[in-house]
Amino acid sequence: MTALPPLTAAGPWIAAYALLLVALGVPVGLMRLKRVKGERLDRAVRVHGNAAENLPTFGLLLMGLDLTGSHPMLLHGLGGAFFAARLGHAYGLSRSMGPSAPRFLGIVLTWTLQAVAAGLLLLRGFGGAG
């Protein structure tokens, strides 16, 4: 059996995404311990939940790109931009359940980066560049 190559660039970003999930989850746990209810708790739950819905998928995309030989600088660019997008989205959503510029930019960048990473992985999987 052939060993997989080590993750050169995806690993640190996957770890950063996991730490972001922890950081966004702690306030939810603390609010529940204090029996906080209402919109403040609802926002914190959505901030954490939305991150939990998006971060793992992008981590898998980065891992796939890394394992198929994509350039580390590409992975760091994608990984850092995605981290920034999720921070922006979390900031905007934590302030209001309604529309906000950070939330809007965060989700547009999230979707764009997911589509780009998925497209690159498809190209690599079918023998193209990426």
Q: What is the distance of C-alpha 122 from the center of its chain?
A: 19
**pLDDT of amino acid 1:** 56
Lowest mean pLDDT among 8-12, 18-22, 38-42, 97-101: 97-101
pLDDT tens, position by position, 20-42 = 999 999 999 998 889 988 988 99
Residue-wise burial string across 60-84, b where 16 or more C-beta atoms lie within 10 A, e elsewhere: ebbbbbbbeebeeebbbebbeebbe
Q: Give me the residue spans of the domains in the chain.
A: 10-125
> What predicted TM-score, i.e. pTM, was given to this entire model?
0.88
> DSSP secondary structure string, 61-87?
HHHHHHHTT--HHHHHHHHHHHHHHHH
- Please name the CATH architecture into which domain 10-125 falls: Up-down Bundle (1.20)
Q: Read off the pLDDT of each residue in 97-113 and give the average, rounded to a whole number.
A: 91
Cβ pair 93, 50 in contact under 8 A: yes
**pLDDT for the residue 96:** 80
| pLDDT tens, position by position, 74-83 | 999 999 999 9
